[in-house]
Amino acid sequence: MGRVKLPIGPQHPALKEPENFTITLDGERVVDVDIRIGYTHRGIEKLMESRTYTQNLYLVERICGICSYAHVENFTQNVEEILGIQIPKRAEYIRTLFLELERLHSHFLWLGVAGHEIGFDTLFMYTWQDREVVQDLLEMISGNRVNYAMNAIGGVRRDVCVEHQKKVLQGMDYLEKRAGYYKEVAINEKTILARAENVGILKTKDALKYTAVGPTARASGITVDIRKDDPYASYLDTPFDVITTNTNDVLGRVVVRVLEIFESIKIIRYLMAHLPAGEIVTKAPRKVPEGESISHTEAPRGEDFHYLRSNGTEKPERYKVRTPTLANLPALAEMLKGTYLADVPIIVAAIDPCMGCMDRVLVLKGNEKPGELVDGERLRRYSIKWYAERGWKA
Amino acid sequence: MTTTEELITEVLKGFPVQVKRERRVFLTIPRNDLIKTMNILSSELNIQHLSTITARDTGNDLEILYHFLLKGVVITIRTTCPKNDPTVDSIVSVFPSAILYERELHDILGIVPNGHPDLRRLVLPDEWVGGYPLRKDWKQPAEQEAEE
């Protein structure tokens, strides 16, 4: 049988977000893969140049709906570095608390998605129910389940009171018990072993060659964790271990994330026990002097890299964001080669991809014509017309 | 200064290395020296982690920054190319992970990495004819229409 080219996406029932994989198959085996991204490109970097630093706080957060806090943490760290501001110790601890709560909910969410991709939907139901505990804690402190709007330039916007601390610790007790169960399941459950063991191999040398980041790199035996390598927030004070495995497969990526849940719980307990007293925010000027700064954090998916160039005004000159999913794509292409088509969804899910969501629409009329930008108002009118033509009333 | 920074300064002796703060090292080089410098980073410092490549429009020139990570130290190599000749050697042969980042530069700022194996678009649509959005003189299609 000859080789078959199979396009998956950008719109496909099995994909959670728009992306495109062109997979070349020889029978059931994947021989080549081409990944096309950009379907959710929203031009945030350009948009940031026309907004003030305060406005950008909330725009940056919307780069991603899951690891939103890692982005806003990078942004505030960059601005604070150029301003030369040292934020209060208490604010550092609260920021670390949010970074770890975010990792918890992201890892629980991922575990569910991984279960779903291998047809183990019970796991999906269980973990997403447990994730609600984290979401409730986030909502209790910040008022929001996602995009917490917690950071201000110079500190945080909301304090953590004694009552909150008690609830957070109760939540951790519950989650630790649940994570213990998932650890058992990940290591012993036949369904998971059959679908994840020796699947999606990424050798250590390839992970290094393509600069894989986060749990993907750590499951290939690379000890890389920005929290330890280049400590930010309060990670220098906080004891925790970097989890690695050397199985190089999807199972390794499951194990790394499950064990990281325990580390996050450990960090959060430490933070709650040692939360320093004092202010939560220092005053920051609106204008940022000329300068440049680099900040990177260990987001749930890996190294999240931001670069800021300021020009002395209230708006940035250039802002650059590199999300961990982009860094992991070349490694993903490597993992997919030589695998079975049926394993493609779980291998893709194992890097925990996050493509962001749509903000501005680009309508393409045929292949030869240039793209046309459509704003919200025109889109609204178009949809009213579309429904009206079909006999619906808006 | 930590030992990693001392090592970097030692290996890159003769280059204008600037340690901006703890764990942040910057180095400015002419674009003709790019591959030479990349080879030193790769073979002598044994760097494998390319975090990303940033570029920006500085008016007449385009500034390109290559960010590397070595034991927690971010090393940034800065180079520039003029806007009327926006080319620079591709570093993919030395650092394979640069492949997507260089495609992005080409896509949004119009920088041509010489010797890059695959310069298709990355974030913009294949049919895009609207120029290079991250250049400072770029205007949104709607703004252009209003002016015409």
Cis? peptide before A10, omega within 30° of 0: yes
Q: Are residues A283 and A390 in the same domain?
A: no
Best of B54, B64, B140 to disrupt the A interface by mutation (most A CBs within 10 Å)?
A: B54
Which residues contact residue B131 at a Cβ distance below 8 angstroms, ignoring those fewer than 6 apart? Answer: B110, B138
Residues A370 and A255 in one domain: no
DSSP character string of A62-130: TT-SSSHHHHHHHHHHHHHHHHTPPPPHHHHHHHHHHHHHHHHHHHHHHHHHHHHHTT-HHHHHHHHHH
Residue A27 falls inside a structural domain: no
CB contact under 8 A, B125 and A224: no
- Shared domain check, A251 and A124: yes
Structure confidence at residue A248 (pLDDT): 94
Q: Any idea what the CATH number is for the domain that residue B96 is in?
A: 3.30.460.80
Given CB atoms, is B66 within the 8 Å cutoff of chain A?
no
**pLDDT tens by residue, A245-288:** 999 999 999 999 999 999 999 999 999 999 999 999 999 999 99
Report the CATH number at residue A269.
Answer: 1.10.645.10
**A269 touching B, CB under 8 A?**
no
Residues on chain A touching B123 (C-beta within 8 angstroms): 37-38, 41
Does A242 lie in the same domain as A303? yes
B27 pLDDT higher than 90:
yes
- Put simply, whether A41 touches B (Cβ < 8 Å) is yes
- Tell me the residue range of the domain where B94 lies: 3-126
Residue B121 lies in a domain: yes
Domain count, chain B: 1
Alpha helices, DSSP H, located in chain A: 44-48, 53-61, 68-83, 89-117, 121-142, 162-188, 190-196, 204-209, 214-218, 226-229, 250-273, 324-336, 344-350, 376-389
pLDDT of residue A174: 97
Contacts of B127 in chain A (CB under 8 A): 364, 367-371
The tokens 């008016």 sit on which residue?
B59
Write the residue in A41, A224, A318 that is nearest to B123 by C-beta.
A41
For residue A376, give Cα distances in angstroms to A12, A55, A358, A359, A383. 25, 20, 12, 9, 10
B36 and A CB contact within 8 Å: no
Assess B146–A contact: CB distance below 8 Å, yes or no: no
Q: Mapping DSSP to helix (H, G, I), strand (E, B) and coil, where does residue A198 land?
A: coil
A120-143 per-position pLDDT tens digit: 999 999 999 999 999 999 999 999
Three-state DSSP class for residue A154: coil
- In three-state secondary structure terms, B60 is coil
Distance from CA of B106 to the nearest CA of A (A): 14
A367 touches chain B (CB under 8 A): yes
Whether A334 is in a domain gets the answer no
Q: Which positions in chain B touch A85 (Cβ < 8 Å)?
A: none
Q: Please tell me which of the candidates A296, A307, A327 has its beta carbon nearest to residue B65.
A: A307
- Kindly state whether residues A247 and A379 are assigned to the same domain: no
Q: Is B18 on the interface with A (CB under 8 A)?
A: no
- Say yes or no: A73 and A121 in one domain: yes
pLDDT digits (tens, 9 = 90+) for A98-112: 999 999 999 999 999
Mean pLDDT value across residues B117-125? 89
Tell me if A13 is assigned to some domain.
no
B123 touches chain A (CB under 8 A): yes
Does B135 contact chain A (CB < 8 Å)? no
Least confident interval from A282-291, A351-360, B87-96: A351-360
State whether A370 and B127 contact (CB < 8 Å).
Answer: yes
Report chain B residues whose CB lies below 8 A from the CB of A41: 123-124
On whether residue A18 sits in a domain, the answer given is no
| A38 within a domain of the structure (yes/no) | no
Q: Are residues A378 and A322 in the same domain?
A: no
Give the pLDDT score at A90: 96
Number of domains into which chain A is organized: 2
Q: Are residues A154 and A230 in the same domain?
A: yes
CB contact under 8 A, B122 and A327: no
Q: Are residues A246 and A368 in the same domain?
A: no
In a shared domain, residues A281 and A393? no
Predicted TM-score (pTM) of this structure: 0.90
Residue A25 lies in a domain: no
Cβ contact B100–A318 (<8 Å):
no
Position B112 in a domain = yes
Give, in order, the Cα–Cα distances in Å from A381 to each of A71, A293, A366, B22.
34, 43, 22, 54
How far is the alpha carbon of B121 from chain A, nearest alpha carbon, in Å?
A: 9
Range of the domain at A385: 361-394
Domain boundary among A312, A327, A342: A327
pLDDT of residue A365 exceeding 50: no
Looking at residue A366, what is its pLDDT?
A: 36
Q: Is A6 on the interface with B (CB under 8 A)?
A: no
Q: Identify the bridge partners of residue B63 per DSSP, sorted by sequence position.
A: B56, B80
Chain A residues within an 8 Å CB radius of B102: none
The more confidently predicted of residues A370 and A160 is: A160
Residue A185 maps to a domain: yes
Would A20 be classed as within a structural domain?
no
Average pLDDT over residues A39-56: 91
**Is B136 within the bounds of a domain?**
no
